Structure 1
Amino acid sequence: MHIPFSPPYIDQAVIDEVTSTLTSNWITTGPKVAAFETELKTMTSSKAVICVNSWTSGAILILKWFGIKPGDEVIVPAYTYCATALAVLHCGATPVMVDIEDDFCISASAVRKAITPKTKAIIAVDIAGLPCDYNALMGIVSEPGIQALFIPESAEQNMLNRVLLIADAAHSIGAKYRGRPSATASDIAIFSFHAVKNITTAEGGAICLNLPVVFDHEALYRFLKIYTLNGQNKDALAKSLGAGWRYDVLFAGLKINMPDICASVGLAQLRKYETDILPRRKQIANSYAKGFEHKPWAILPCVHDENRESSYHLYPIRIKGIDEKQRDLIIDAIVAEGVAVNVHFIPMPMLTCFKSKGFKIQDYPSSYTNYACEISLPIYPQLTDNEVDFIVAVVSNAVEYELTCKKVFATNLVINLA
């Protein structure tokens, strides 16, 4: 049996939507992007949604809009994909890494300790689709003592008058926080629609705006749309519909718009997301939980609690009592049986880019502990029940074989030393 890790969900509805775009003679930013934004806004209960060509570009856009610049600091978790911190670096600012809790989410207590007068934003990451504790984080940035540290240096910072709370929601479309779409729990949430995500546009992302009422969200939506098109005040579709060829460039924007051909893939998936795609992902997660719940070596991921429900993007199982090398041997054995698995993520302080900037993994013990024993299992709607059962059996056999070898080695070592 061969089971891939995360193939895209492409059914006839997706093919039909893409075909309709191709035959419309309009494939760049246009009506399909507008429709996708509208449906995302409804599903997430957001005040406005802007589509972009990736999570990373969306994060850079928001940081630039907020006035993040050299000398500023943005707090990020050490345990995340590199894009979270790279977006900060691309604005010339300094990423300040903090450790995570056992549920993979950023530590609120560590965030509190890391805030300085240079702090302008926090990017909390919903690892595997589980929302962070946004009430705790929002409570911290709203505390009078923490607000007193904030030094606004742009019009937007003056309007907010506190640290901006951004959700790296790359994994968490469809997640819930306190009974509401989790995108509404932060000031701004940014989705990813990369090929392996719950909803894909091949490449793409979306910015969900849920700022305080002092902000005019409709005006901000229009401004950010212009920003995604090099700061040009008239897009190609408007010109093609008779708005005239003459245009102006209002400021130095970015070229990060999402095209219709990509939006059409996501649009078709979004229309089935809450009825078909997300429920099936949840079923698979529950099957994994049932299959591993009595295994003494299994640390099951938190997928829901009294305040949060995951989007079931990943199933990050952890193995008790193993080290990084043993984890890799277990993965090799699983892959040899035809099951593709992954690891989410290599903590950023272990990557050359960040080691060269002085970050040390020893400063983030929880991040390393979780990484060293984590294996991400396949979870996507195309998986059959038989395939899920096969994955449970293969993983169990691989882990138990490695743990047996470890026990035998330890026993022989004791005998030899005696």
Structure 2
Amino acid sequence: MNIPFSPPFIDQNVINEVMDTLKSGWITSGPKVIALEKEVVRLTRSKAAICVNSWTSAAIMMLKWFGVQEGDEVIIPAYSYCATALCVLHCGATPVMVDIADDLTIDPQRVKMAITSRTKAIIAVDIAGLPCDYNTIKTLIRSAKVRALFVPNSDEQRKLGRILLISDAAHSIGATYMGHSSALSSDITIFSFHAVKNVTTAEGGCACLNLPGNFNHEEEYKFLKIFALNGQNKDAYAKSKGANWKYDILYKGLKINMPDICASIGLAQIKQYKRSLMPERKKIAEKYCNILSNYEWFIPPTLKDFSRESSYHIFPMRIKHITEAQRDHIIEDIVAFGVIVNVHFIPMPMLSYFKKTGYNIVNYPNSYTQYACEISLPIYPTLSDADTDYIIDAVIKAVQAQMLHSKRKELAMVKTSYLPG
């Protein structure tokens, strides 16, 4: 059997939507992008949504919108994909990495310790689709003590009057927090629509705005749409309509717009997301937990608790009492069964670039502990019951084989220690 890790969901609805775009004669930014933005607003209940070409682009755009620049600091978890830090670096600011809690999300107590007068934003990462502890973080940044530390250097910073809370929701579209869309839990929520995500546009991202009432969301949306197209006041679709060729450049913008051909894939998926695509993921996650919980070595991921429910994007299984090397051997054995698995994530301080710039994994012990025993299992709507049975069987056999090997090795060492001389 050959089971891939995370293939894109392509059904006839997706094909029909893409063909409609191709036949329309318009494939770059236009009506399909607008339609996708409206669907994101409908799903998340956000006040506005701006689709661009990647999560990273959306994050850079929103940090620049807020005026983040050289000399500023942005607090992020050490346990995340590199884009969480790179978007900060691309604005000239410093990523201040902190450790995580046992559920893999950013530790609010570590955030509290990292705040300085240079802190302009916090990027909290919803690992695997599980929302962070947003209420604790919001209470912290709204406290009088932390507000007094905040030094605004832009109009947006002065208007907000505190640290900006950004949700790195690359994994968590459709997740809930306190019974509501988790997108409503931060000032800015940024989704990824990369090929492996729950909703994909092949490549893409979306920034959702849920700012305080003194911000005009309609005006912010208009500004960001222009900013995402080189600061140009008319997009190509508008210019194509009659004698409408004149345009102006209003801002020093970015060229990060999403094309319609990409938006059409996501548009077809998001329309069936809550009805079928996410429930199928949930069913698989629950099956993994129900069966693997019979084994004492299994550490289940947090899928749902009193305040949060995941989007079931990744199933980050962890295994008790193993080393990083043993985890790697288990992965090799699972792959030998024809099941492709993954690891989410290699902590950023372990990556060459970040090591060279001064980050050290010893300062993030829980990030390393969780990484060293984590294996991400396939979880997507097209997996059959037979597929998931096979995956579970492969995991059990691989883990038990490694544990048997480790026991034999320990016994051999004990016997050797009793040999004379």
State the TM-score, normalizing by the size of structure 1: 1.00
Asked if 1:116 is matched to 2:111, the reply is no
CA distance in 1, matches of 2:205, 2:342: 22
Partner of 2:235: 235
Deviation sequence 1:1-35 (CA, Å, 0-9, x none): 11000000000000000000000001000000000
CA distance in 2, matches of 1:151, 1:328: 46
CA distance in 2, matches of 1:92, 1:236: 31
CA distance in 2, matches of 1:14, 1:234: 29
CA distance in 2, matches of 1:316, 1:76: 20
Structure 1 gaps, min length 5: none
Following TM superposition, by how much is the alpha carbon of 1:367 offset from its aligned partner in structure 2, in angstroms?
0.1
Partner of 1:339: 339
Root-mean-square deviation (Å): 0.5
CA distance in 2, matches of 1:322, 1:222: 52
Q: Which amino acid aligns with 2:111?
A: V
CA distance in 2, matches of 1:82, 1:107: 18
CA distance in 2, matches of 1:254, 1:197: 24
- Aligned partner of residue 318 in structure 1, secondary structure: strand
Deviation sequence 1:191-215 (CA, Å, 0-9, x none): 0000000000000000000000010
Return 378-387 or 403-412, whichever deviates more: 403-412
Return 236-245 or 102-111, whichever deviates more: 236-245
Q: Which amino acid aligns with 1:353?
A: Y
- Aligned partner of residue 9 in structure 2, secondary structure: coil
Following TM superposition, by how much is the alpha carbon of 1:68 offset from its aligned partner in structure 2, in angstroms?
0.3
Q: Which amino acid aligns with 1:221?
A: Y
Partner of 2:375: 375
CA distance in 1, matches of 2:175, 2:288: 19
Q: Which amino acid aligns with 1:193?
A: F
Q: Which amino acid aligns with 2:417?
A: L
Return 200-209 or 232-241, whichever deviates more: 232-241
Q: Which amino acid aligns with 1:121?
A: A
What are the within-5 Å matches in structure 2 for residues 162-201 of structure 1?
162-201=162-201
Partner of 1:271: 271
- Aligned partner of residue 367 in structure 2, secondary structure: helix
CA distance in 2, matches of 1:94, 1:141: 19
- Mark the CA change 1:243 to 1:67 in structure 2 (over 3 Å): closer, same or farther: farther
Deviation sequence 1:296-339 (CA, Å, 0-9, x none): 10001000000000000000000111111110000000000000
Partner of 2:25: 25
CA distance in 1, matches of 2:13, 2:243: 33
Partner of 1:153: 153
- Aligned partner of residue 63 in structure 1, secondary structure: helix
What are the within-5 Å matches in structure 2 for residues 98-137 of structure 1?
98-137=98-137
What are the within-5 Å matches in structure 2 for residues 395-410 of structure 1?
395-410=395-410
Q: Which amino acid aligns with 2:407?
A: K
- Aligned partner of residue 338 in structure 1, secondary structure: coil
Q: Which amino acid aligns with 2:280?
A: R
- Aligned partner of residue 76 in structure 1, secondary structure: strand
CA distance in 1, matches of 2:245, 2:45: 36
What are the within-5 Å matches in structure 2 for residues 210-225 of structure 1?
210-225=210-225
- Aligned partner of residue 88 in structure 2, secondary structure: helix
- Aligned partner of residue 79 in structure 2, secondary structure: coil
CA distance in 1, matches of 2:8, 2:142: 40
CA distance in 1, matches of 2:198, 2:102: 24
CA distance in 1, matches of 2:412, 2:10: 52
Partner of 1:8: 8
- Aligned partner of residue 97 in structure 2, secondary structure: strand
Partner of 1:300: 300
Partner of 1:94: 94
Following TM superposition, by how much is the alpha carbon of 1:264 offset from its aligned partner in structure 2, in angstroms?
0.2
Q: Which amino acid aligns with 2:285?
A: A
- Aligned partner of residue 242 in structure 2, secondary structure: helix
- Aligned partner of residue 122 in structure 1, secondary structure: strand
Deviation sequence 1:105-151 (CA, Å, 0-9, x none): 00000000000000000000000000001111111100000000000
- Aligned partner of residue 190 in structure 1, secondary structure: strand
CA distance in 2, matches of 1:333, 1:367: 24
Deviation sequence 1:207-238 (CA, Å, 0-9, x none): 00000001000000000000000000111111
CA distance in 1, matches of 2:324, 2:373: 6
- Aligned partner of residue 23 in structure 1, secondary structure: helix
- Aligned partner of residue 317 in structure 1, secondary structure: strand
Structure 2 gaps, min length 5: none
CA distance in 2, matches of 1:362, 1:23: 55
CA distance in 1, matches of 2:134, 2:143: 14
Asked if 1:249 is matched to 2:244, the reply is no
Partner of 2:351: 351
Q: Which amino acid aligns with 1:295?
A: Y
- Aligned partner of residue 96 in structure 2, secondary structure: strand
Partner of 1:66: 66
Segments ≥4 residues shifted beyond 6 Å:
none
Following TM superposition, by how much is the alpha carbon of 1:242 offset from its aligned partner in structure 2, in angstroms?
2.6
CA distance in 1, matches of 2:116, 2:23: 54
Deviation sequence 1:160-201 (CA, Å, 0-9, x none): 000000000000000000000000000000000000000000
CA distance in 1, matches of 2:101, 2:316: 14
Following TM superposition, by how much is the alpha carbon of 1:243 offset from its aligned partner in structure 2, in angstroms?
5.7
CA distance in 2, matches of 1:407, 1:243: 78
How many residue pairs get aligned? The number is: 418
